[in-house]
């Protein structure tokens, strides 16, 4: 389906239309994740978002999640999840001594290093 105003392909879900990254209900009114929820996710993701970003991501994530609601139409009660397409369990390697990258090469990329170690900021008060 195409948007009547801009001819772009339009993402549709059963309860809402989504346009320009904003979820709108059928009356064209915006709905979105709460600022508290967005703040909580940002903290889990360790991002210090600005207020403007929280506002914008709240709208955009709401739109994407609303679109994802169409998955709920499918009855998946008896369907196993696919985490990988490969028939893998654990992949073991022989416990042998092999050459590895040098400490110097690895630490060359470290923002801060000291005494052959990565330097981290204080964890304890």
Nearest by Cα to 40 from 49, 31, 52, 28: 49
Nearest by Cα to 19 from 79, 76, 66: 66
Nearer to other proteins (CB atom), residue 27 or residue 109: 109
Least separation, in Å, of the C-beta of 119 and other proteins? 8
Token pair for residue 50?
Answer: 């600005």
Least separation, in Å, of the C-beta of 27 and other proteins? 20
Distance CA 49, CA 72 (A): 30
Residue recorded with tokens 């000291």: 114
Q: Which residues of the shown chain bind other proteins in the complex (CB under 8 A)? A: 1-2, 8-11, 18-21, 38, 41-42, 44-49, 53, 57, 60-61, 63-65, 67-68, 70-72, 74, 76, 79-86, 88, 91, 93, 101-102, 105-106, 108-112, 118, 120-123
How many CB atoms sit inside 10 A of residue 58's CB?
A: 20
Least separation, in Å, of the C-beta of 116 and other proteins? 14
Nearer to other proteins (CB atom), residue 26 or residue 109: 109
């Amino acid at each position: 389906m195409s948007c009547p105003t801009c001819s772009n392909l339009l993402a549709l879900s059963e309860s809402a239309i989504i346009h320009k990254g904003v979820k709108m209900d059928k009356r064209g009114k915006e709905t979105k994740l709460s600022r508290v929820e967005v703040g909580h996710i940002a903290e889990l993701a360790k991002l210090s978002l600005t207020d403007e970003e929280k506002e914008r991501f709240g709208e955009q994530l709401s739109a994407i999640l609303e679109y994802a609601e169409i998955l709920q139409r499918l009855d998946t009660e008896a369907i196993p999840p696919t985490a990988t397409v490969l028939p893998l369990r654990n992949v073991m390697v022989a416990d042998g001594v092999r050459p590895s990258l040098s400490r110097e090469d690895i630490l060359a990329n470290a923002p801060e290093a000291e005494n052959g170690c990565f330097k981290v900021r204080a964890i304890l008060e």
